[in-house]
Amino acid sequence: MKSLIVFLCLVMSCMVANAAKTFVYCSEASPKIFNPQLGTDGPTFNASSRPIYNRLLEFKAGTTEVIPSLAESWTVNDKGTLYTFKLRKNVKFHTTTFFKPTRSFNADDVLFSFDRMRLKEHPYHKVNGGLYQYFDGMNMGALLKNIKKLDDYTISFELTKPEAPFLANLAMDFASILSKEYGDFLAKKNQKDKIDLEPVGTGPFIFKKYVKDNVIRYTANKEYFLGAPNLDNLIFSITPDANVRFQKLKAGECHFIAEPSPADIPKIESDKKFKVESADGLNVGYLAFNTRKKPFDNVLVRQAINLALNRDAYIEAIYLGKAKKAKNPIPPTMWSYNKNVKAYEYNPEKAKKLLAQAGYKNGFSAELWTLPVSRPYNPNGKRMGEMMQADLAKIGIKIKLVTYKWAEYLKRAANGEHTLLQLGWTGDNGDPDNFLNTLLGCDAVENGSNFAKWCDKKFQYHIEQAKIVTQLDQRIKHYMKAQEIFKNQAPWVTLAHSTVFKAMSKKVKGYKASPFGAESFYGVVLE
């Protein structure tokens, strides 16, 4: 009898072990395409670059730390203009029903991937629209002087000028590595467009099928160079409505849901079957002054408004307490964050005095543009605008709230038509340059992402120096100084750094929430 029980137990444990582990992620939107070089949105990155592809360098799970991936090691010359990468050997591209690779990853694939984006004459440059928004937006074309294959497993990137954030840039989604062999195979069949629709990468999951607006299927890459994933199948069930995603989680139709509504977080936390994991978001919500328009060209006015806004109240009402009050333009989790900068306290009396000192004793009237879309850095722009209107009325500033449709809002703001503008930013690569230079640098005034239209010579000097020097301690010093200048000159009111929440079944183990808000299910175990 005992032996029979042991036998039955063994059979049952074998059955459990053999049962395919299928993980269902209820995502919020359809991917636009399966190539991160051509995308800019979270759903596209979550469905392509994270499961399917790798990059030369990656961000360590749950952090902004850059670690080796397809590149095992690298060296930088003294000038900081030549980066040489040693590539990992025996990394296999996916074998799928539509392509069987005959060779492992090598330098040709790196050249193919970057040349597609940077060279207009490349046979794949114009395929599927040929809009490489991140690559172009970050001016990578102008930065990359040359990319040279030194041997099959060594490749060098020559830059036109020193650029310290370059390594972090290479860990971004758009820098994913595609298979040249697959590209050649499709070109021969005259089916180049399929490279971005039926993707082949080196990542932990193999693309199987996409049913438009419905479901994406992946299988585990058992030959993944960092070890096979713990899941056998990965499914993205596309569910656009946040309420319905929550109901699907409750009904057991998905293990993990994208972007839970902040109002549902307490309900999910209180249910024993689910858990919520959070990470400090790599973001900032702000109110920008158009420093080229009166009276916001006057630093005293800007400081007065900083003192007049009760940001604690906004965090409670708008972010439901799930955010940190911001004092710097970069989030506290980012290296070089200046803890010593003194935040503007809520002090309407002092604000009134500063206004009087600036020559506006009786206040003035101004327009405040409220964010027309919900973003993690500002979930309800209109409500926040109303609260700001009430706060500013106390110091004599009459605010008229204005808003436009999102595209129109961005266009008019880029043209500098605003006076006070709500906006925010979610970081791409964990480098302070991605906030301080992208949002506050003098070049960004023309680029349209410096909405304060603020160009301060001293600030500019420090952020430029921080790009040139490669020693981290030197970069930190420059960024610390830049934050002090920013605080004193107050081109923005820094509002909040919101927390990123992830809701999932308790069966999900080993998930690490990314500060970028990205979803990666490699390393996840389903119990």
Partner 1 sequence: MIKILRQRFFAFFPTLLGVSLLAFSLIRLAPGDPVMLMLGERGGTPEVYEKMRTSLGLDQPILWQYLKYIGQVLTGDFGTSIVSQRPVLEEFFDRFPATVELGLSGMIFAILLGVPFGLISAAKRKSPVDYTLMGGALLGYSMPIFWWALVLIMFFSVNLGWTPVSGRVSVMYDVEAVTGFLFIDSWFSEDSWEIFKSGLHHLLLPALVLGTIPLAVVARMTRSSLLEVLREDYIRTARAKGLNEKRVIVTHALKNALIPIVTVIGLMLGTVLTGAILTETIFSWPGIGRWFVASVEARDYPVIQGGIILIALTIMLVNLIVDLIYVWVNPLLREHS
Q: Name the site residues for partner 1 (rule: CB under 8 A).
A: 22, 24, 29-30, 32-33, 38, 40, 128-131, 133, 136-137, 139, 193, 196-197, 208-209, 211-215, 217, 235, 237-241, 243-244, 247-248, 250-251, 253, 404-408, 410-411, 414, 423-425, 438, 444, 446-449
Bridging pattern class, strands 420-426 and 365-369: parallel
Name the 3-class secondary structure at 67.
Answer: strand
Residue 471 class from Cβ within 10 Å (0-12 exposed, 13-18 middle, 19+ buried)? exposed
Residue number, 155 or 287, with CB nearest to partner 1: 287
Cα–Cα distance for residue pair 331/432, rounded to 1 Å: 9
Residue number, 257 or 318, with CB nearest to partner 1: 257
Q: Please, are residues 93 and 201 in contact by the beta-carbon 8 Å criterion?
A: yes
Query: What is the nearest approach in angstroms of partner 1 to the Cβ of residue 414?
Result: 6
Residue number, 63 or 403, with CB nearest to partner 1: 403
Query: What is the nearest approach in angstroms of partner 1 to the Cβ of residue 439?
Result: 9
Spatial CA neighbour of 295 closest among 387, 398, 372: 398
Query: What is the nearest approach in angstroms of partner 1 to the Cβ of residue 138?
Result: 9
Cα–Cα distance for residue pair 272/286, rounded to 1 Å: 36
Residue number, 5 or 211, with CB nearest to partner 1: 211
Q: Spell out a b/e string for 320-348, using b for 16 or more CB atoms within 10 Å of the CB, else e.
A: eebbbebbbbbbebbebbbeeeeebebeb
Query: What is the nearest approach in angstroms of partner 1 to the Cβ of residue 42?
Result: 11
Among left, alpha and beta (phi > 0; psi -120 to 50; other), residue 480 is alpha
Residue number, 219 or 303, with CB nearest to partner 1: 219
Residue number, 447 or 471, with CB nearest to partner 1: 447
Residue number, 110 or 117, with CB nearest to partner 1: 117
- Number of neighbours of residue 293 by Cβ within 10 angstroms: 15
Query: What is the nearest approach in angstroms of partner 1 to the Cβ of residue 226?
Result: 27
Write the single-letter amino acid at 388: M
- Six token digits for residue 423: 């906006």
Query: What is the nearest approach in angstroms of partner 1 to the Cβ of residue 177?
Result: 21
Query: What is the nearest approach in angstroms of partner 1 to the Cβ of residue 429?
Result: 13
